[in-house]
Structure formats: structure tokens, C-alpha cells
Amino acid sequence: MTEEVAVPISSPADNHRAVYHDHSEYAKHDEDPRFRPFADPSGPGWAALGVSLFTLSFYAGAIGLPFDDPNVATLASTSLIIGGLVVFISGMWAFATNDTVHATIFTLYGSMFGAVGYLSILGFNIYNTLDQDKTVSHAAGTFWLAWMLITLVILLGVVRHSPGTTGFMFMLFMSFVLLAGGTWTSRRPAVKAGGWFSFFASLVSIYNTFMVIYKTGYHPLGSVSSVSQKLSMRSTKGEDSGAAEV
């Protein structure tokens, strides 16, 4: 005998209680044993972003890896594809938990890393042909320019979210600026500098992973909300003292 699935048929606006076919009622899904909340997807999302950016920084920044080695692109593509898949799935997962910020970040950059990894697998060693093919350089520059613009928009939107997210988006924005300029103008020093900013962004992403898993209210980098509360408390005390003097 199969178990009957509980499907809500109404949700009255007056008491916000969901009524089911078996005539049971629950004020919200959290109280219904037939519903299970999703876990926080930001942990695997930040971890996969850190791994992907770490690998990308060693490739684009030529940190211990030469540009002219064709095996470097293949090595980078393996981590980028895996990281891109995990990040993208984490973004879809974040949508289910009603987390718009992480859903946007993980979905977009997961797809980006998947695209970069796919190009690497196909053998497009972009950074090895910067001085040889201007068409490839301009195409890669346009790609990074588009991601630079969308990263700037996200950075402005999350500036009050948390220091970890803001720092990550800033490092990623600077990386895309240098990667776009370096690939478009075929200047390898700029590309290497962009790789180093990707490396710093990966460290911030790893920090965010630690804070999600550690599950504590203590943030070594501070909290935007706590700073705002302290500033508001100081302003309130100043107004009270001024009123007392009058």
C-alpha cells in the first residue's frame, strides 16, 4: 500500500494555515513532519568556488605553471569542470532555500567556470596564443569584460551583505578587470596580476566555507550588521546626551 502524498489544496489568507486532503493543518512547513528543510548550500558552493579559483589562479597567473605547457590547460579544466558543476548545483539549491544572494553568485560563476573548463578541454590554450592570434585575444577579452561588468553589479548589491562576500566579490572584480585588459591587449603581466587576484579571491572563498561549516556568530573579519548597530547606538547616545544638556 503506497503512502499518500500530502498536497496543500488551500492556504487561507486569514490564518496562513495550509489545509491538506487528509484534513490536517499546519501553520507553516517547519511544523509539518512531511516537509524537510534544505540544508545550507553555501558551504559546498564556497568550497567549490575556492577550489576553482585556486586552480584558475595557478593557470592564468602562471603561479608555478608555465603558459606554454599544453598540459596546464587540461589540468585546469578538470578542476574547473568539477568546481563549476558543484557551484552551479549549489546555486540551484540556494534558490530552493530562498537565498537570492548565494543563488545568484553560485549559479552565474558555476556556469562561467564550466565554460572556461570546457574551452580548456577542447584545447583552446588561450593564454599561450595571446601574442599570435588577435581574434582569440579579443574574444577572450570580451568574455572577461562581460563578467567584469556583472561582477561589479553584484559587488554593489552585496556591499552590505557580509565582509566575506564583499571581499570575495571585490577580489573577483579586480581579477576580471586585469584579465579582460590583459587578454584584449595581449599583455601577459596583466593576465598574471589577474591570476594573483583570483588567488586572493580563492582564499576569501575558503574563509567563507570555514565560517559556514563552523556555524558561529563570531566572524574574524567582522559583521556589517554589528558595525551598523554600534554606529546607530553611538548616534542615539549622542542625541540623548545633547537633549540632556538642553
At 233, which helix (H) or strand (E)? helix 224-245
Q: Determine what percent of the chain is predicted with pLDDT higher than 70.
A: 56
**Stronger pLDDT, 198 or 118, i.e. the higher one:** 198
Whether pLDDT at 9 is above 60:
no
Q: Are both 7 and 95 inside the same structural domain?
A: no
In a domain, 54, yes or no: yes
In a domain, 124, yes or no: yes
Q: Are both 168 and 203 inside the same structural domain?
A: yes
Q: How far apart are CA 237 and CA 76, in angstroms?
A: 55
Q: Are both 207 and 99 inside the same structural domain?
A: yes
**Looking at the 3D structure of the chain, how many domains does it have?**
2
pLDDT at 188: 79
Whether pLDDT at 184 is above 90:
no
In a domain, 84, yes or no: yes
- Note down the domain range covering 171: 42-215
Taking Cα atoms as reference points, which of 72, 169, 65 lies closest to residue 117? 72
In a domain, 224, yes or no: no
Q: Are both 134 and 101 inside the same structural domain?
A: yes
Taking Cα atoms as reference points, which of 140, 127, 130, 131 lies closest to residue 70? 127
Q: Are both 200 and 111 inside the same structural domain?
A: yes
Q: For 190, list phi and psi in degrees, rounded to 5.
A: -70, -40
To the nearest 10°, report the CA torsion of 211, 215, 218, 222: 40
Whether pLDDT at 203 is above 80:
yes
pLDDT in tens, 47-61: 988 988 887 787 666
Q: Are both 11 and 131 inside the same structural domain?
A: no
Residues 6+ apart with CB under 8 A from 27: 15, 16, 17
Least confident of 4-8, 80-84, 206-210, 235-239: 4-8
In a domain, 236, yes or no: no
Angle of helix 42-60 relative to helix 188-214, nearest 10 degrees, comes to 160
Q: Are both 88 and 141 inside the same structural domain?
A: yes
Q: Are both 7 and 83 inside the same structural domain?
A: no
In a domain, 78, yes or no: yes
**Stronger pLDDT, 177 or 63, i.e. the higher one:** 177
pLDDT bucket at 236, cuts 50 / 70 / 90: low
In a domain, 240, yes or no: no
Q: Are both 69 and 100 inside the same structural domain?
A: yes
Q: How far apart are CA 165 and CA 88, in angstroms?
A: 17
Q: In what order do the strands lie in the sheet with 18-20?
A: 8-10, 18-20, 25-26
Q: How far apart are CA 55 and CA 82, in angstroms?
A: 11
pLDDT at 16: 46
Q: Are both 1 and 31 inside the same structural domain?
A: yes
